[in-house]
Chains A and B, each alone.
Chain A
């Protein structure tokens, strides 16, 4: 496999890792919040992160 393709693949994996990193941060923020509206907003924000990490969308 060409070296550039391998590097591109590595950046893809790192981008997924970044999404996971921020998903963990969102979950922590969700657990800490005391505001019901904010809790709902965090849940909505999480949706694309979860589906992308599960490789469904």
Chain B
């Protein structure tokens, strides 16, 4: 058996174990863990090709499994703290207050209201690089406003998802670009314009496409009456201070980096959460809010941890290399034609790990062919988050469904509604990738 056959067999075992575990109603997190274990067993049993191989003791197997859980540890910390911040804000009544203010002031000015919501959605993801953070912080609030504006449930969730995905792609922070660029030793320079054009283009299209046909013709008072009533004691100053704290902590590092300490996203959200406690007129049990946060996020965080383990085992067994190799040896025309589907699907399986897995070899391939790798990487980095609603992980899609308390069908309702904007974004990015050279010349990158 050659190493090609070995790694291919490992991938086949992963698919089989995945299907079997799903058939026996295992949850996605456990299914991924079982797939990783199946891959390990296959790796240990099957011949590994002609080259000599090192022994893999039992203790090292345990070490690899445990090490894999660290793959997205910092991302999980960010998810937990961001959600904790917003849950605290919600539980103390801040979200209700803000929703009332937005609907009361902007309900009749529909386009302005939609653009405002777009900005509100884009900011958290743009500064953190995480679509899930966007959904977990402002997704519920925006969803409530959209409901008040008469946007149907399917389209509401679809819009929150697309805007969250595009917020993650939006500069200044695009984690896929940063990870792939770092892996290929490219500076994170020149990406702002292409990322902004592609992500904002996608976000604007989705906003107006998914809210088409809705009218803001009910009296504002009637709409406000349908919303949960805000608790007494909230005012604009109290409501905005936590967000001002968050923005100051994030922007401080941009404005005076030499004098600003390294705070890290988890502490930025925890300090913002602290300011919620100081500003809120109503007190809550903080530990209970943390437990609620953990319970709500168990799937999201569980999947990230399990995907980390699977990624480690894919690498150990050569399966990751085989997938990566399989993509880069495709004929270039086929690659242009297929990346719009390969990238989101891979994102659905591996999350941020796709950036080093596929991004780095692709950058090197594009450099070798003389293409503009900055434009191409920007295009891929906007395509990747589109896959965040695809199984098995579907991290942002699940978060949107959870935050908006969506009861419809995930595939026939939510995904179907999101399909046209998703295809529009993928087409836009594919066009940018194909015309990478003229676009690069135009943008001066």
Q: Within 8 Å by CB, do A and B touch in the complex?
A: yes
* A residues at B contact (CB < 8 Å): 4, 7-8, 11, 14-15, 18-19, 21-22, 24-26, 28-29, 32, 37-38, 40-42, 44-45, 47-48, 51-52, 57
CB pair B77–A19 under 8 Å, yes or no, is: yes
- Nearest-neighbor residue (CB-CB) of B309 within chain A: A44
CB pair A4–B267 under 8 Å, yes or no, is: no
Q: How far, in angstroms, from A32 to B302 measured CA to CA in the complex?
A: 17
CB pair A15–B267 under 8 Å, yes or no, is: yes
In the assembled complex, which residues on chain A have CB atoms less than 8 Å from the CB atom of B301?
45
Cβ of B293 under 8 Å from chain A? yes
Cβ of B205 under 8 Å from chain A? no
Give A40 Cβ to nearest chain B Cβ, in Å.
Answer: 6
Known contacts A4-B261, A25-B293; A18 and B30 CB within 8 A of each other: no
Q: How far, in angstroms, from A25 to B87 measured CA to CA in the complex?
A: 14
Q: How far, in angstroms, from A7 to B302 measured CA to CA in the complex?
A: 32
CB pair B290–A21 under 8 Å, yes or no, is: yes
Known contacts A26-B294, A29-B291; A41 and B66 CB within 8 A of each other: no
What are 16 A-to-B residue pairs whose CB atoms are below 8 Å?
Answer: A11-B261, A11-B263, A15-B267, A18-B77, A21-B290, A29-B294, A37-B30, A41-B30, A42-B298, A44-B69, A44-B309, A48-B69, A48-B76, A48-B305, A51-B70, A57-B70
Cβ of B313 under 8 Å from chain A? no
* B residues at A contact (CB < 8 Å): 26-27, 29-30, 33, 66-67, 69-70, 73, 76-77, 80-81, 84, 259, 261-264, 266-267, 270, 287, 290-291, 293-295, 298-299, 301-302, 305-306, 309
In the assembled complex, which residues on chain B have CB atoms less than 8 Å from the CB atom of A51?
66, 70
In the assembled complex, which residues on chain B have CB atoms less than 8 Å from the CB atom of A4?
259, 261
Give A15 Cβ to nearest chain B Cβ, in Å.
Answer: 6
In the complex, besides A44-B305, A44-B306, 12 extra interface pairs with C-beta distance below 8 angstroms are: A18-B77, A18-B270, A21-B290, A22-B84, A22-B290, A24-B290, A29-B295, A29-B298, A32-B291, A41-B29, A41-B30, A57-B67
Interface class of chain B by DSSP: helix
In the assembled complex, which residues on chain B have CB atoms less than 8 Å from the CB atom of A45?
76, 298, 301-302, 305
Give A9 Cβ to nearest chain B Cβ, in Å.
Answer: 9
In the assembled complex, which residues on chain B have CB atoms less than 8 Å from the CB atom of A22?
77, 80-81, 84, 290, 294
Give A7 Cβ to nearest chain B Cβ, in Å.
Answer: 4
Q: How far, in angstroms, from A22 to B73 measured CA to CA in the complex?
A: 12
Q: How far, in angstroms, from A24 to B288 measured CA to CA in the complex?
A: 11
A-B pairs, top 10 by smallest CB distance, nearest first, are A25-B290, A41-B302, A7-B261, A48-B73, A47-B69, A25-B294, A29-B294, A41-B29, A25-B291, A48-B69
In the assembled complex, which residues on chain A have CB atoms less than 8 Å from the CB atom of B287?
24-25, 28
- Nearest-neighbor residue (CB-CB) of A28 within chain B: B291
In the assembled complex, which residues on chain B have CB atoms less than 8 Å from the CB atom of A8?
261-262
Give B260 Cβ to nearest chain A Cβ, in Å.
Answer: 8
In the assembled complex, which residues on chain A have CB atoms less than 8 Å from the CB atom of B80?
22
In the assembled complex, which residues on chain A have CB atoms less than 8 Å from the CB atom of B290?
21-22, 24-25
Give B287 Cβ to nearest chain A Cβ, in Å.
Answer: 7
Q: How far, in angstroms, from A49 to B290 measured CA to CA in the complex?
A: 15
Give A17 Cβ to nearest chain B Cβ, in Å.
Answer: 9
Give B316 Cβ to nearest chain A Cβ, in Å.
Answer: 17
In the assembled complex, which residues on chain A have CB atoms less than 8 Å from the CB atom of B293?
25
Q: How far, in angstroms, from A42 to B76 measured CA to CA in the complex?
A: 13
Give A19 Cβ to nearest chain B Cβ, in Å.
Answer: 7
In the assembled complex, which residues on chain B have CB atoms less than 8 Å from the CB atom of A37?
26-27, 30
Q: How far, in angstroms, from A21 to B293 measured CA to CA in the complex?
A: 12
Q: How far, in angstroms, from A25 to B299 measured CA to CA in the complex?
A: 15
CB pair B298–A44 under 8 Å, yes or no, is: no
Q: How far, in angstroms, from A29 to B297 measured CA to CA in the complex?
A: 11
Known contacts A26-B294, A29-B295; A40 and B30 CB within 8 A of each other: yes
